[in-house]
């Protein structure tokens, strides 16, 4: 989604969380350093320094996944390994506490943000806060929480077999990452006004593979430090770095693909078939309505592509429709536009689902109610949102918006899906001009 001029309250909340955790952890570290002999920490300075550098590098090269989700796999795996390090090298116990892990990770995150701030790139502070909370959970569970007779996992692991220690590390890492995913889902649901259950499902499905990889990598690095020393940190994180690079390339291709679709959607505007900004406005309304109805992230993406291309069939018209409003065209012409648009999209060979949605976008809701036809929800959403924008347009005129909704309500249950109309009303009450 594009950034609004004003900051979302979650941005401020996330910043407060990061700052509070960083300052609090540093204060605890300083207090403990004053109480402990300095030589206990000197052998660990190289280890802390290497972890700090790797986390910074991972934060600099954050990955943007499907939708607006941003992650830093390399930084997360390194921070998890730092949280669960027991010895480095052999004979040098890692007797630092969770506050040091949190403080070092927070500092590394702050340093890693410098290039993004300098180049004015988008920085999602709540995502950083979630990541820091996840690392804090892992560090506290491993180094601070008593699990047996007042002893922590860090204290008990000396008598364990390596297999058991590895299993415990993976479980702790997975639990910490799941906490992060849970918080991310809650914040995303608040930001997008989507149902929490659906958002949770999307986030867990998207994170399950990455969680398994990061949990295993963090445990592997922490275990390998004991015999190999600091060289184990870059050595075992290197494959994850290559994977992250490949994911960044794939995401760049996705962004190019999405931009190509947005460019295609402007053909009808440039050809004088539709009003400027019509496709963008309809796509914004459709996205917000789809999220309100609890559509999955994958389905919302297909909805966005379909909404942007919903008028592409008009390029086959001999004469443009006045104002480009398909609502004013005869039903037969509406069906022909939808069919031609679907056929154009099918020529790509990769957007079959979008073609199906476009072909059904003019079908009346009564086909579902009376005949039991399987009409895609995305098609019903486009039908309602397109009709609204055809009547209301892009002008911020409350009277036009009221008139548009009154006319849509006249066709409620016959032309338009009542559930979709209700969702659109809730969207318009929050923001009359939602953006993609």
Contacts of 253 (CB under 8 A, 6+ apart): none
Q: Which residues of the chain have pLDDT under 70?
A: 1-19, 21-22, 25-41, 65-69, 90, 323-324, 395-396, 436
- Where do the domains of the chain lie? 9-257, 265-430
CA distance 7 to 184: 17
HEC states along 30-51? HHHHHHCCHHHCHHHHHHHHHH
Residue-wise pLDDT tens digits, 374-408: 889 999 999 999 999 988 877 667 888 888 898 99
* The pLDDT value given to residue 413: 82
* The pLDDT value given to residue 5: 40
Phi, psi of 274 (to 5 degrees): -130, 160
* The pLDDT value given to residue 332: 83
pTM: 0.78
Residue-wise pLDDT tens digits, 56-87: 999 888 877 655 567 888 999 999 999 999 98
Instruction: List helix spans (H) across 265-330.
Output: 267-270, 278-292, 297-308
Compute the half-sphere exposure of residue 77: CA atoms within 13 Å on the CB side of its CA: 31
CA distance 108 to 18: 12
Angle at 336 between CA 335 and CA 338, to 5 degrees: 65
CATH code for the structural domain at 265-430: 1.10.3210.10
**Beta-carbon neighbour count of residue 183 at 10 Å?**
20
């Amino acid at each position: 989604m594009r950034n609004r001029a004003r900051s979302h309250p979650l941005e401020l909340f996330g910043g407060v969380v990061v700052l509070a955790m960083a300052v609090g952890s540093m204060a605890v570290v300083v207090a403990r350093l004053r109480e402990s002999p300095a030589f206990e920490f000197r052998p660990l300075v190289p280890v802390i320094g290497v972890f700090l550098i790797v986390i910074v590098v991972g934060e600099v090269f954050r990955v943007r996944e499907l939708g607006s989700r941003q992650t830093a796999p390399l930084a997360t795996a390194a921070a998890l390994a730092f949280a669960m390090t027991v010895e480095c090298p052999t004979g040098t116990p890692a007797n630092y506490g969770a506050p040091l892990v949190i403080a070092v990770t927070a500092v590394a995150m702050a340093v890693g943000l410098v290039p993004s701030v300098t180049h004015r790139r988008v920085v999602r502070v709540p995502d950083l806060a979630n990541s820091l909370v996840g690392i804090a959970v892992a560090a506290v569970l491993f180094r601070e929480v008593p699990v047996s007779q007042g002893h922590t996992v860090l204290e008990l692991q000396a008598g364990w077999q390596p297999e058991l220690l590895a299993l415990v590390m993976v479980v702790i890492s997975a639990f910490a990452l799941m906490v992060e995913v849970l918080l991310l889902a809650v914040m995303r649901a608040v930001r997008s006004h989507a149902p929490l259950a659906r958002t949770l499902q999307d986030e867990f499905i998207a994170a399950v593979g990455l969680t398994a990889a990061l949990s295993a990598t963090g445990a592997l690095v922490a275990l390998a430090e004991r015999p190999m020393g600091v060289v184990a940190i870059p050595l075992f994180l290197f494959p994850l770095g290559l994977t992250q690079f490949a994911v960044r390339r794939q995401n760049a291709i996705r962004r190019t693909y999405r931009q190509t679709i947005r460019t295609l959607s402007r053909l009808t505007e440039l050809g004088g078939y539709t009003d400027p900004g019509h496709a963008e406005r309809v796509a914004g309304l459709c996205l917000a309505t789809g999220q309100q109805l609890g559509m999955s992230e994958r389905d919302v993406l297909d909805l966005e592509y379909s909404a942007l291309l919903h008028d592409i069939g008009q390029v086959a018209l001999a004469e443009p429709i006045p104002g480009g409003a398909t609502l004013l065209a005869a039903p037969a012409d509406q069906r022909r536009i939808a069919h031609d648009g679907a056929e154009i999209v099918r020529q790509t060979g990769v957007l079959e689902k979008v073609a199906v949605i476009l072909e059904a976008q003019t079908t009346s809701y009564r086909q579902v109610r009376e005949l039991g036809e399987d009409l895609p929800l995305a098609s019903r959403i486009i039908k309602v949102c397109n009709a609204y924008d055809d009547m209301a347009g892009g002008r911020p005129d409350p009277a036009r918006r009221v008139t548009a909704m009154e006319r849509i309500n006249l066709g409620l249950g016959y032309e338009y899906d009542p559930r979709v109309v209700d969702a659109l009303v809730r969207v318009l009450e929050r923001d009359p001009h939602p953006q993609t």
